[in-house]
Amino acid sequence: MKRLILTRHAKSAWDDPLTPDHDRPLNERGKAAAADLGQWLASRGYVPAKVLCSDAVRTRQTWSGIAPALPATPLMELKPALYHAGVDVMLAVLKHAQADVVMMIGHNPGIAEFAEKLVAKAPFNAEFGRYPTGATLVVDFAVESWDEIAFGQGVTVDFVIPREMVV
């Protein structure tokens, strides 16, 4: 069994129009949501052993907000290929993962499409297709190795967006 925790970065700032997209940080709401997401994950036992994170500032800051709430700090690996990645790139990155529980932190529009393609049945949440900032899907795969996963195999365990979170 393999478990993926698929998270879109938390809300980012748009204060400075001259800041390149890759370098945009989280805003205050995003920082709070990332911390809440860490609490939510820890309270439900959704603890990754490995984190695959886009190298954008807002994804790294999302992870920095989540990590302190977890009982153990997993190894985080920056994956430049995840910056605005499409579904095929995201799948290729995941197929090389080694841990049983992996967290992937990325961006829309790719992450929304990736989430939708991974699961056999989407969660009952009107926001799932939109995958707003901070959205997190927990999905299980009945495989021995990540390189065996394919679209439509995932079993939805949980799905949350920050404004619906109860921590």
Q: 2-10+24-118+135-164 architecture in CATH? A: 3-Layer(aba) Sandwich (3.40)
pLDDT tens per residue, range 52-65: 999 999 999 999 99
Whether this model's pTM surpasses 0.85: yes
Judge contact between 30 and 160, C-beta under 8 A.
no
Interhelix angle 110-118/87-95, nearest 10 degrees: 60
Indicate whether 166 pLDDT > 80: no
Give the residue extent of every domain in the chain. 2-10+24-118+135-164
> Is 122 exposed, middle or buried, given 0-12, 13-18 or 19+ CB atoms closer than 10 A?
middle
| 64-112 pLDDT per residue, tens | 999 999 998 899 999 999 999 999 999 999 999 999 999 999 999 999 9
Average pLDDT of the chain, as a whole number = 95
